[in-house]
Amino acid sequence: MTTTSQPVDVLIVGAGPCGLAAGIEASKSGLSHLILEKGSVTESIRRYPKLMRFFSTAENIEIGGIPFPVSSVKANRNEALQYYRKVAAYYHLKTKVFTEVQSVQKQGDIFRVLTTKGDTFYAYKVILATGYFDKPRWLGIPGEDGPQVSHYYDEPFKYSFTNVVIIGASNSAVEAALELYRHDVDVTVVHRGDDFRSTVKYWLIPDVKNRVKEGKIKTVFGSCVTRISQDAVRVHNLKSGEITTIPADFVLILTGYTPDSDLLQRCGVELDPETQIPQYNRTTFETNVPGLYVCGTVLAGIFTEKVFIENGREHAQAIIDHMMGREIHKVNELVQRI
């Protein structure tokens, strides 16, 4: 067990792009820092689909003022992993990986940070930058925990020459459906709405709709999966009430993820009961616990599509400005829309 008796100025939980940005800003301001990360550096991105490409241009997901050169305008997963690792190394960020924070407790002016391994760290300020990718939205249906069912899509080759049912109609679902179809997979998309979501990237829409028109990707809209068995899903049509069965060797439930509200509450942060948005100051990002900040997508509640690297990376500067008593950097307007 590790116990550090000397508090650091700033302890950051999570080494995603926004947590790394916070470490960089702390370091630039001469504050001692420590980043605790439950997985590897940029663990969420490491778990993204292997063949994915970011929708943002590379310059819009840069951190620490370090240019992000890529061979095309937008980075792929590999390039992003290389970039963020190199930036972390360049700034000598103090990162302890594979260290999951269990809770943060304030004791007088000091925070006591406890890990699931039983280690304890101390800090004067804490920034929670834990993102949203660890907590899939579970449907709560029988069979959801089966070995052929996943809430994450990784790569297409595993699924070639099988039947895959994708539940969901967002970007992730559409991207997975197109990629799988192009790798000889028999794909059916099941979604409770009447169409793909309006938030799907505009350049994907003609592609997916034309494949549906050609019958190459099947859709079952206005319907819910109510049970998953070993080789099929049971589908309930929400209008007609009709029950059908669709063959499914694999089921991908791509209905999104949410920030870890239990962790936030264990740290004393109050959440809006409806939106799950933590109580925080929109300028300084300080929560209802003085000295405890939220940074990046963790502050988005259920609206995770509103905070991403492009705008989340900016929180870091505002937070450190507040800690340093400087004029506070104003963050990108998108955040204000929440």
Ligand X SMILES: Cc1cc2nc3c(=O)[nH]c(=O)nc-3n(C[C@H](O)[C@H](O)[C@H](O)COP(=O)(O)OP(=O)(O)OC[C@H]3O[C@@H](n4cnc5c(N)ncnc54)[C@H](O)[C@@H]3O)c2cc1C
Please give the residue ranges that form the binding site for ligand X (CB under 6 A): 13-19, 36-39, 43-44, 48, 52, 54-56, 61, 100-101, 129-131, 133-134, 260, 263, 296-298, 308-310, 312
CB of 33 to ligand X, least distance (A): 15
Q: Which is nearer to ligand X, 186 or 314 (CB)?
A: 314
First-to-final CA distance of the chain: 40
CB of 124 to ligand X, least distance (A): 19
CB of 21 to ligand X, least distance (A): 8
CB of 135 to ligand X, least distance (A): 9
CB of 324 to ligand X, least distance (A): 21
Q: Determine the Cα–Cα distance for residues 249 and 190; give it in Å rounded to an integer.
A: 15
Q: Which is nearer to ligand X, 47 or 227 (CB)?
A: 47
CB of 183 to ligand X, least distance (A): 17
Q: Which H, E and C letters describe the chain, residue by residue?
A: CCECCCCEEEEEECCCHHHHHHHHHHHHCCCCEEEECCCCCCHHHHCCCCCCECCCCHHHHCCCCCCCCCCCCCCEHHHHHHHHHHHHHHCCCCEECCCCEEEEEEECCEEEEEECCCCEEEEEEEEECCCCCCCECCCCCCCCCCCCEECCCCCCHHHCCCEEEEECCCHHHHHHHHHHHCCCCEEEEEECCCCCCCCCCCCCHHHHHHHHHCCCEEEEECEEEEEECCCEEEEEECCCCCEEEEECCEEEECCCECCCHHHHHHCCCCECCCCCCECECCCCCEECCCCEEECHHHHHCCCHHHCCHHHHCCHHHHHHHHHHCCCCCCCCHHHHHC
Structure token pair of residue 118: 């039983």
Q: Which is nearer to ligand X, 3 or 230 (CB)?
A: 3
Q: Which is nearer to ligand X, 229 or 276 (CB)?
A: 276
CB of 168 to ligand X, least distance (A): 12
Q: Which is nearer to ligand X, 116 or 245 (CB)?
A: 116
Angle of helix 205-213 versus helix 171-181 axis, rounded to 10: 50
Angle of helix 17-28 versus helix 77-90 axis, rounded to 10: 20
Q: Which is nearer to ligand X, 129 or 190 (CB)?
A: 129
Q: Which is nearer to ligand X, 136 or 222 (CB)?
A: 136
CB of 311 to ligand X, least distance (A): 7
Q: Which is nearer to ligand X, 198 or 240 (CB)?
A: 198
Angle of helix 17-28 versus helix 315-324 axis, rounded to 10: 30
CB of 295 to ligand X, least distance (A): 7
Q: Which is nearer to ligand X, 310 or 321 (CB)?
A: 310
